A and B are shown apart, each in its own frame.
Chain A
Amino acid sequence: MSVQQKVIVDGLSVPIEGERNLLELVRKAGVDLPTFCYHSELSVYGACRMCVVEIDKMGIVASCTVQPQPGMVVHTNTEKLRTIRRTILELLLANHDRECTTCDKNGACKLQELAKRFGVADVRFGEEDLDMPLDRSTPALVRDPNKCILCGDCVRVCGEVQKIGVLDFSHRGSEAMVGPAFGKQLADVDCVQCGQCASVCPTGAITIHSDIDRVWKAIHDPKIKVVAQVAPAIRVALGEEFGHEPGWAEPGKVVAALKRIGVDMVFDTCFTADLTVVEETAEFLERLVSGSRERLPQFTSCCPAWVKYVEQYHPEYLPNLSSCKSPQQMFGAVARRFLSRELGVEPESLFVVSVMPCTAKKFEAARKEFAVDGRPDVDAVLTTQELARMIRETGIEFDKLPIAPFDLPLGVSTGAGMIFGNSGGVAEAVLRAAAELLAPEKKSGMPQTQLVFEEVRGLEGVKEATVNVAGNEVRMAVVSSLGAAAEVLRRIESGEAVYDIVEVMSCPGGCIGGAGQPSPSHLEVRRKRTEALYDVDTMQMLRRSHDNPYIKALYDRYLGDVGGETAHSSLHTSYGTRRRIAGEDIRFSAEEVDGRLSVGVCVGTCCYLHGSYDLLRGLMDRVNREGLTDKVDLHATFCFEKCEHSPNIEIGGNIRSNVTSEEIDKIFEEEILARLVE
């Protein structure tokens, strides 16, 4: 047996067992070194300097940046280290908006916690630089730069996990700050509003845009009937807010709590998840059986951050997105259109609130596709955290609540709907359905078709499986995080991988790791929530969406056929291209002359990559050569949202797509000169 390699931490001998850095080893030894910028799932940043330790012969170093070496003698608690940690806290506090009582993160703030732990009693410096405006531009998130401690966690989660990079640092010295490009607001850039930045933010610098007040207002309005839907991932996480271990699952408590705070009826998003499975499976089988691979692989569309991502970055795959609305929006549509009739209330007096693990669902609910005459199908979206806050506000003792059942008819669901909260859940639910639908004529006494598809379970970013569904080989990929999605798309594009169906969830681990979930939400927590959700599934009598009797009833009474006309108009939608950054046109002639012919050349990313600069230069040359600068208003513009047909140019309001530089002279003569002659 080889001699175990050890590090001495405060006199204790601690074995090296593959720890990636000294910080993890010290924590294993039972010393909770403080940090702001260390996250086990992100790259090491080494900036907050709170995790400093003294190592014999090395001096003071940040433990997160050091590899454990055998024989290292490490001290974690010395006078010098205490001075450094306290001073750093004091320095951070000095430039921090210390109005803790009104801060959204009050009680959950890392800075507050550590200041308390270290007993920082006095801040010796004057406050400054705290008048930066808040960014409330999106329905999902609020950014308050005055509370940012520049730990860079948000920058790294967006750049490394989601590979989008909406947030980054700008400016130098004490003016350094984090924000979107060009000082823009989140709504004006390519943020998909997944909220992972808020989920890792140690302070109140990025928080969830709260809908609590709107929900209270509806609850307290006697003329309004408030109905709630509860997403699957809530039932395995809400308990964490009330002191339970991650994975503690009691759906009945969630229902009881919602009822006690005044919601009239509580339904289950798992019901519409079943509905989604039914519709999406039909859609998939149609694409699969049709033989043409044109719209394959089929991508799931349950995740609104993913949908926005495709709209912005991969419009060429829009036809591959399932046209099914997400379970949240299916619920909204069913509630507004049919439940109101069932309950005998006017659709307008129904207030639909959903409880979601997700911030992007707030964005989804506000999308214009999901509104009828301006009234959104889903009126408000509460995250798990917001629901917990409402429960606490009422003073209800969560643990003492008796459990209560979901209401009928939209409260009954199968195990297939439940596992939607896990990465791989949608895929598995569709597989269960497909296995059944494609199975040869069942005779009584035949063994059940397959229920569990282990291949698509687990917390890895990409899971691949070829599953035999009733004799058909279905090649699938299950993806969680947009960084992983980008890689899978690259492989599809290059032909390295061929799939029939691809499930994408934007958050690591799927919805159970959503940004609306209680904090912390690291890998171990996510694992427990995932397992709990699979446990809930096994306890269900019904585990295939098609077996849900209330789904059958819904089709019988209102929807007609699966995939039929009513089903389609209520439960399906379509998406379009979306510009990534809001920007003003760049004009090339100084003076404004009215009545000029407008000629715009898109210089957005897709058009740029397809040669729009050459088009612009060609047109500019012609306009200058012909001396038409006072007749033609040539300008560069950002995105006509026809990225799949790039490059695009606009001439007097008409958009020409797929323009090549060879065509420029012809276009100039036939469409610009000719119009000027008119």
Chain B
Amino acid sequence: METAKKTGMTIGSRDELKAYAAKVRAEMAAQKKRVLVCTGPGCLANGAEKILDAFRSHSIEAVGATRTGCHGFCEVGPLVRIEPDDVVYVRVKPEDVAEIVEETLRKGKVVERLVYRDPDTGRTYPKESDIPFYASQTKVALSNCGAINPDDIGEYIARDGYQALARAVLDLSPDEAIEEVLESGLRGRGGGGFPTGRKWMFARQAKGDQKYVVCNADEGDPGAFMDRCIMEGDPHSVLEGLAIAASAIGADRGYIYVRAEYPLAVARMKNAVKQAKECGLLGANIFGSDFSFDVTIKEGAGAFVCGEETALLASIEGKRGMPRPRPPFPANEGLFGKPTIINNVETLATVPAIIRRGPAWFRAIGAESSPGTKTFAVTGQVANTGLVEVPMGATLRDVVFKIGGGVIGGKKFKAAQIGGPSGGCLPEELLDTPLDYDSLKKAGAMVGSGGLVILDEGTCMVEVARFFMHFTQRESCGKCVPCREGTKRMLEIMEKIVAGRATLEDLDTLEQIAWVVKESSLCALGKTAPNPVLTTLKYFRDEYLAHIVDKKCPAGVCTAFKSYVIHPELCKGCGKCRRTCPAEAITGETKHPHVIDAAKCLKCGACVEACAFGAISLE
């Protein structure tokens, strides 16, 4: 990680901010080309740092190579983009760098073999903006991700960074700032979808000498990495949003609660805070006003439930992260009993754009009841896994097929699991569901933080539901009875179903407990924990019945319904499987085909590994 680039200057007014932005822009313009190496989670894991080193080892005049946050198209990473040409290279290896330097940077030619090729049409796309994956996206929260060096506050400022804060502090009264957010229709991107402006208004109206703002960066859904990428790719946007929120409600202290499992996000946020303090964009009398604001990064120890706002506050206070009943809502009694607002990373990262460009601009994007854009982390059996941002109200079909490139391997789409452990599984017939808060809720799922897992026909939906049940049970805080004990028993029944031991009576019990957990749990984690089970029961009930009545797993996934068989025509009778079997389930004479006693077989698969002739398979 680079050390913070010293700006060496203090920004005490809007003019100084503008002057600094102009200076950085001039510096950047002096570079004929800029190489932007994606160091998002996927690219980093595939050697992005080595690529960056390789670029830096070539010194070329007027070319700057820099690391950036996630470019989004993780499937084809590591990604390298050359500005201002907008040329993007995919699946780059360190050994490709010399060629890129020679051809593109020196001669201005495109290296054809490294550009993206559409697997279906075979067409190549040298420019990023032409690639279908990017073409259908609208970037607001992610607009700087992949475009700037996240460790350099100057690059953020050069792209109009902190101008929204200047406006909020110098031009708008707190009520006016809140009014703009209200008018924009921005709703919480963390899952609940509560109107952000209203939350701020409540906290502004709450009486208290001390108020707090908190950024919820405890992204815990399996498969979700939007907040992580924003913090890693554009940390200052979060910080600026938090500062605007603070000035609007009258807080002088903010916390960013980020899970310790995101070490890079923690480091980048810490660096951003440090740089902002050095510049005077955090601290006392920001822009010469009477608004002072300081931020503390608090690392969470990895409890899923700490994403729930009251549990998160308890955790910051140094207590066990357990939710408490609301009301009182944090806007009235929050951190240390003081009025507090808690906004998610993406929500805060969207705020500066709204203040800068106005609520009308924001409202024009997205759906009527859910304006703006939403980021999704698209994973699973989809061609283009990655991070995408689309206008709210885009359909599931758009995201899966237009951007996601459809299901991989020519298989059929079966379902989309959206919203993580609190969300639900939507089947093919709901592919045209608009992705907004209200439509998804009606379908039994939720936007959640934006995890989107695409499942193909080879997926057992019962097993998927069991997986999520297992997750929520382990991550329940254990406070209220329905969530602690109810999820345990739901999981128990789900395990019985996938093991082929369940009865129809168990199914009734499952539905009844699911209802009780949903209706009577204390917090949102419990209230939504049954969603994966309830939606699969609603849309894939026949699969449950197949497991229970027919004792079959239609997708052929659950091992309980399969047995290992030795194909006599392939078996040489070597006896290796017999000697390997821990259950003594295999019998047979040497040089004669062996057989497996299904009653004794543990289905451990050791025999398959042992067989040198491929004579054993699971059927």
Query: Any chain B CB within 8 A of the CB of A290?
Result: no
User: Residues of B contacting A149 with CB < 8 Å?
Assistant: 481
Q: A52 to B509, alpha carbons, bound, how many Å?
A: 21
User: Residues of A contacting B486 with CB < 8 Å?
Assistant: 87, 91
Q: A168 to B480, alpha carbons, bound, how many Å?
A: 15
Question: Whose C-beta in chain B lies nearest to the C-beta of A177?
Answer: B478
Q: A176 to B489, alpha carbons, bound, how many Å?
A: 15
User: Residues of A contacting B473 with CB < 8 Å?
Assistant: 173-174
**Other 18 A-B pairs with CB < 8 A, given A152-B479, A173-B477, A174-B484:** A47-B479, A47-B480, A49-B521, A49-B522, A52-B520, A65-B327, A67-B327, A80-B519, A87-B482, A87-B512, A125-B492, A150-B478, A169-B320, A169-B478, A169-B479, A172-B477, A173-B474, A174-B476
Question: Whose C-beta in chain A lies nearest to the C-beta of B515?
Answer: A83
Q: A46 to B487, alpha carbons, bound, how many Å?
A: 18
- B509 touching A124 by the CB < 8 A rule? yes
Q: A124 to B488, alpha carbons, bound, how many Å?
A: 13
Contact partner of B482 (CB less than 8 A), chosen from A49, A65, A124, A174, is A49
Interface residues of A in 85-130 (CB under 8 A from B): 87-88, 91-92, 94-95, 124-126
Interface residues of A in 265-295 (CB under 8 A from B): none
Query: Can you name 6 A-B pairs with beta carbons within 8 Å?
Result: A47-B480, A84-B516, A88-B520, A91-B489, A169-B478, A172-B303
- B485 touching A94 by the CB < 8 A rule? yes
Q: A173 to B481, alpha carbons, bound, how many Å?
A: 10
Query: Any chain B CB within 8 A of the CB of A390?
Result: no
Query: Any chain B CB within 8 A of the CB of A452?
Result: no
Q: A115 to B477, alpha carbons, bound, how many Å?
A: 25
Interface of B is mostly: helix
User: Residues of A contacting B488 with CB < 8 Å?
Assistant: 95, 173-174
Question: Whose C-beta in chain B lies nearest to the C-beta of A169?
Answer: B320
Query: Any chain B CB within 8 A of the CB of A48?
Result: yes
Query: Any chain B CB within 8 A of the CB of A171?
Result: yes
User: Residues of B contacting A44 with CB < 8 Å?
Assistant: 325
- B487 touching A173 by the CB < 8 A rule? yes
Min CB distance A299 to B, Å, is 31
- A49 touching B484 by the CB < 8 A rule? no
- B475 touching A173 by the CB < 8 A rule? yes
User: Residues of B contacting A124 with CB < 8 Å?
Assistant: 509
How many chain A residues sit at the interface, stated as a range, is 20 to 34
User: Residues of B contacting A65 with CB < 8 Å?
Assistant: 325, 327
Question: Whose C-beta in chain B lies nearest to the C-beta of A83?
Answer: B516
Min CB distance B21 to A, Å, is 47
Query: Any chain A CB within 8 A of the CB of B324?
Result: yes
- A49 touching B478 by the CB < 8 A rule? no
Min CB distance A128 to B, Å, is 8
Query: Any chain B CB within 8 A of the CB of A60?
Result: yes
User: Residues of A contacting B51 with CB < 8 Å?
Assistant: none
Min CB distance B333 to A, Å, is 12
Which 7 A-B residue pairings sit nearest by Cβ, starting from the closest?
A176-B478, A65-B325, A91-B485, A46-B325, A174-B488, A173-B476, A87-B516
User: Residues of A contacting B581 with CB < 8 Å?
Assistant: none
Query: Any chain A CB within 8 A of the CB of B322?
Result: yes
Query: Any chain A CB within 8 A of the CB of B383?
Result: no
Q: A419 to B515, alpha carbons, bound, how many Å?
A: 55
Q: A47 to B325, alpha carbons, bound, how many Å?
A: 9
Q: Which of B474, B484, B486 has the most CB of A within 10 A?
A: B484
Question: Whose C-beta in chain B lies nearest to the C-beta of A93?
Answer: B485
User: Residues of B contacting A172 with CB < 8 Å?
Assistant: 303, 305, 474-478
- B516 touching A48 by the CB < 8 A rule? no
Min CB distance B502 to A, Å, is 12
Min CB distance A330 to B, Å, is 43
Contact partner of A150 (CB less than 8 A), chosen from B475, B479, B492, B521, is B479
Question: Whose C-beta in chain A lies nearest to the C-beta of B304?
Answer: A172
User: Residues of A contacting B489 with CB < 8 Å?
Assistant: 91, 94, 125
Query: Any chain A CB within 8 A of the CB of B286?
Result: no
Q: A171 to B477, alpha carbons, bound, how many Å?
A: 8
Query: Any chain A CB within 8 A of the CB of B425?
Result: no
Interface residues of A in 469-528 (CB under 8 A from B): none
Min CB distance A94 to B, Å, is 7
- A171 touching B478 by the CB < 8 A rule? yes
Query: Any chain B CB within 8 A of the CB of A62?
Result: yes
User: Residues of B contacting A584 with CB < 8 Å?
Assistant: none
Question: Whose C-beta in chain A lies nearest to the C-beta of B513?
Answer: A87
Q: Which of A47, A49, A91, A150 has the most CB of B within 10 A?
A: A47
Interface residues of A in 152-177 (CB under 8 A from B): 152, 168-169, 171-176
Q: A60 to B322, alpha carbons, bound, how many Å?
A: 21
- B324 touching A46 by the CB < 8 A rule? yes
Min CB distance A368 to B, Å, is 36
- B324 touching A176 by the CB < 8 A rule? no
- B478 touching A174 by the CB < 8 A rule? yes
Chain B interfacial positions (CB closer than 8 Å to A): 303, 305, 320, 322, 324-325, 327, 473-482, 484-489, 492, 509, 512-513, 515-516, 519-522
Question: Whose C-beta in chain A lies nearest to the C-beta of B483?
Answer: A173
Q: A45 to B485, alpha carbons, bound, how many Å?
A: 17
Q: A589 to B299, alpha carbons, bound, how many Å?
A: 31
Q: A48 to B474, alpha carbons, bound, how many Å?
A: 19
- A169 touching B322 by the CB < 8 A rule? yes
Interface residues of A in 36-58 (CB under 8 A from B): 44-49, 52
User: Residues of A contacting B481 with CB < 8 Å?
Assistant: 47-49, 88, 91-92, 149-150
User: Residues of A contacting B515 with CB < 8 Å?
Assistant: 83
- B492 touching A46 by the CB < 8 A rule? no
User: Residues of B contacting A84 with CB < 8 Å?
Assistant: 482, 516, 519-520
Question: Whose C-beta in chain B lies nearest to the C-beta of A152?
Answer: B479
- B482 touching A88 by the CB < 8 A rule? yes
Interface residues of A in 55-74 (CB under 8 A from B): 60, 62, 65, 67
Q: A83-B512, A95-B485 are in contact. Are A48 and B492 (CB under 8 A)?
A: no
Q: A515 to B221, alpha carbons, bound, how many Å?
A: 45
User: Residues of A contacting B522 with CB < 8 Å?
Assistant: 46-47, 49, 62
Question: Whose C-beta in chain B lies nearest to the C-beta of A87?
Answer: B516
Question: Whose C-beta in chain A lies nearest to the C-beta of B492?
Answer: A125
User: Residues of A contacting B520 with CB < 8 Å?
Assistant: 49, 52, 60, 62, 84, 88
Contact partner of A173 (CB less than 8 A), chosen from B478, B482, B492, B516, is B478
User: Residues of A contacting B484 with CB < 8 Å?
Assistant: 150, 173-174, 176
User: Residues of B contacting A152 with CB < 8 Å?
Assistant: 479
Q: A65 to B492, alpha carbons, bound, how many Å?
A: 31
Min CB distance B318 to A, Å, is 12
User: Residues of A contacting B322 with CB < 8 Å?
Assistant: 169
Q: A358 to B520, alpha carbons, bound, how many Å?
A: 38
Min CB distance A80 to B, Å, is 7
Q: A169 to B479, alpha carbons, bound, how many Å?
A: 9
Q: A45 to B310, alpha carbons, bound, how many Å?
A: 13
User: Residues of B contacting A150 with CB < 8 Å?
Assistant: 478-479, 481, 484
- B478 touching A126 by the CB < 8 A rule? no
Min CB distance A613 to B, Å, is 19
Q: A79 to B265, alpha carbons, bound, how many Å?
A: 49
Q: A519 to B82, alpha carbons, bound, how many Å?
A: 77
- B477 touching A176 by the CB < 8 A rule? yes
Question: Whose C-beta in chain B lies nearest to the C-beta of A52?
Answer: B520
Min CB distance A467 to B, Å, is 37
Min CB distance B421 to A, Å, is 12
Question: Whose C-beta in chain B lies nearest to the C-beta of A64?
Answer: B325
User: Residues of B contacting A174 with CB < 8 Å?
Assistant: 473, 476, 478, 484-485, 487-488
Q: A87 to B487, alpha carbons, bound, how many Å?
A: 12
Q: A168 to B322, alpha carbons, bound, how many Å?
A: 12
Q: A150 to B482, alpha carbons, bound, how many Å?
A: 12
User: Residues of A contacting B305 with CB < 8 Å?
Assistant: 172
User: Residues of A contacting B519 with CB < 8 Å?
Assistant: 60, 80, 84
Q: A566 to B142, alpha carbons, bound, how many Å?
A: 85
User: Residues of B contacting A87 with CB < 8 Å?
Assistant: 482, 486, 512-513, 516
Q: A171 to B474, alpha carbons, bound, how many Å?
A: 10
Q: A47 to B474, alpha carbons, bound, how many Å?
A: 18
Q: A83 to B516, alpha carbons, bound, how many Å?
A: 8
User: Residues of A contacting B476 with CB < 8 Å?
Assistant: 172-174, 176
User: Residues of B contacting A175 with CB < 8 Å?
Assistant: 478
